[in-house]
Structure formats: C-alpha cells, structure tokens
Amino acid sequence: MVKILVLGGTHHVGRAIVEAALERGDEVSTLNRGLSRAPAPGVRALIADRTDAESVRRALGNAEWDAVVDTWAWAPNVVRESARLLADRAGHYGYVSSRGVHRWPWPPGADEHAPLVDGDPGSTDYADYAAAKRGGELAVTESFGERALLARAGMILGPYEDVGRIPWWLRRLEKGGRVLAPAPADTPLQYLDVRDLAAWMLRSAERGLSGAFTVTGPPGAITLGDLLTTALEVTGFDTELVWAPRELLLRHGLPLGMELGLRMPDGSAPSGMHDADVRAALAEGLTTRPLRETLADTWAWLQAEGDPAPRADAPSPDTWLDAAAEQRLLDQLSH
C-alpha cells in the first residue's frame, strides 16, 4: 500500500489515478479547489487553489506521503511551488508531462533523448503548452532530483477524456448515415488508455522509478481504420465510413484528422507523431489493454455520465467538422 497525494484528481488522468489507487488499496489524498466532482469514498480531500501557494501550504498541513502524482497542465511556477512544499514530505514525485516537450518537428522513431524545447520552471505563462510542460518538468526535478518521474505521455484515450477526441468521434458516429473519415484507413495510430497510464505511474511510484519516459502504446499496433471500425462494432451504430483523402478534405476546409494528430493546420502530415520509441517504458512495466476495451468503456462512460465539460484549452466540438461542408463533400463523393 502506498500513501499517495494526487494533485488534481477529478478529471481525466487525475480521476483515473485516484480510481486505480483506491482499487489497489492505497491511502489516497487529493488536492484541488473542490469545485468539480465530489471526492470518491475513501479519499481524503484537501481543498486549495493551487495558484495560491499559501492556500496549498495550509491545506497540506503537516502530512507526509510516500508519493505525489501531479497532472497540472498550466503555468510551471505552480508546479514549482508544490514541489518545493513537498520536497521534504514525499519520497517520489510523478509528473504527467507530454511528448510535446520535444522540439518540433519530432524525428521519426524518437525516444526520450530527442531534443527538448526550452522551459522556465518559474514562468507564469502557459500559452505555449510545450514550454509550460517543460518548465513543469524542470520545476519537479529542481526539488526532487532523482526522486522525480517524468511521464511524457502521447495521445491519452479512454474514459473521462475531456480533450475532444474519442468522445467527439463516438458522438459523430452515433448520428448514423454516411460519415467522412480522413484517408488512408491504414494510417498508424499510437495512443495509451488513461487507466494503463494511471496503473503504470502508481507501480512506478511504489518502486521509486525515476527519470523521463515516453509513455504511450507500442508503435504500429493499430491503424485509424482499426479505431473507427472497432468503435462501430462495440457501439452497434449503423454508420458508413466514407474515406476522403487529406488533400480533398483540405480543399473543402475540413480539418478532419487534426483531432488525432494526423495533420497540421496547414494540411501537412506531421512526422514522428505516431511512431515513438517506447521500449524504455515497456521495459519498466508499462502494459496496454485492447483497443476494443478502451472504446467500449469510453462509450459506456459517455452513456452513464454524458459528455464531459471540455477543458479550457480544448477545441470546441465543431472545430473538426462543419456539417454543411461535410455534406457537400459526401454528395460529391457519391457521384
């Protein structure tokens, strides 16, 4: 059993970590503003605004933990303040970072040693997501050194997703009829179920694993076609996928594919997005569940709880597809 503090704990990754920790029998505390979900039974809920260091200090009191998991995605200085407060009161600090900390363009087959963007651990800015996450990494290692784990996650899917990827696709497919999909269907995808990320971070905390790891699924495991056809199978929707080339989508002003990192705003296909080298994380015990389970459980969650409130930095639901433009292209493809 691990005595763990989750900074956050109500949305997406944080929620999955709390649930996984409770299932393991860990002693779980959370720290957040207390404005979203009620704490799960058995969780010690600490209430504080993380942007207010004194508020956090009061909430933490004199407690100590074996490990901390931090899902913060905004200004790095907030991570710095928390890490400093906890440096002598926790043995391990796991930070959910992002592959975005690597300098663009990402090289094909990149691992943890690919070049990094610059980051400032004291910055109050989060407009540049990559720089903010890198600043958060530096803030953690500044206080925890070799007791810090940096989980550079790729695309995170599964229940509780509030970014607008699979929930958006499931709702789109639910409408039935003919639906545009960004060709080719054999485009490789790389992702990780949020629950597999949570389980790995908790096991790593228990072992005291440290360092930076690229954390996503194995490359080449699934394709876009696998994703969408499996989604149709697990939901039973009567929907026909109509595959349209990227150039045709671009010509009609449809950014479809951007939601899964398959194209850039200018229409080009990015390199290195879905072929990361994850051998280091796999060697340290990362496991992945079947795609069918991820999609079925995501759909069950949506049915049970409804669509989540989108993150402040997530695109609006109508970003990826204009219904009228889609219909015009579908009509053209039917002739």
100 pLDDT more than 70: yes
208 pLDDT more than 90: yes
The CA distance from 130 to 136, in Å, is 10
In one letter, which amino acid is 284?
Answer: E
Encode burial over 21-42: b for 16+ CB neighbours within 10 A, e otherwise.
Answer: beeeebbbbbbbebeeeebbee
User: What pTM was estimated for this model as a whole?
Assistant: 0.96
223 pLDDT more than 90: yes
Which whole number is the average pLDDT over 124-135? Answer: 97
The residues facing 156 across adjacent strands are: 192
Instruction: Write the DSSP symbol of residue 4.
Output: E
Beta-carbon contacts of 223 under 8 Å, excluding residues fewer than 6 positions away, are 185, 186, 187, 188, 189
Task: List, for residues 224-270, the tens digit of each pLDDT value.
Answer: 999 999 999 999 999 999 999 999 999 999 999 999 999 988 888 89
Lowest mean pLDDT among 12-21, 257-266, 283-292: 257-266
311 pLDDT more than 80: no
Mean of all residue pLDDT scores within the chain: 95
315 pLDDT more than 80: no
Which whole number is the average pLDDT over 56-84? Answer: 97
- Which of 148, 129, 155 has the alpha carbon at shortest distance from 12? 155
Contact between 259 and 228 under an 8 Å Cβ cutoff? The reply is no
Beta-carbon contacts of 329 under 8 Å, excluding residues fewer than 6 positions away, are 180, 244, 248, 249, 252, 254
Which domains are seen in the chain, by residue range? 3-157+191-215 (3.40.50.720), 166-189+222-273+290-333 (no CATH)
129 pLDDT more than 80: yes
pLDDT reported for residue 318: 65
Extended beta strands in 209-295, E state: 211-215, 222-223, 239-244
Encode burial over 108-135: b for 16+ CB neighbours within 10 A, e otherwise.
Answer: eebbbebebbebbbebeebeeebbbbbb
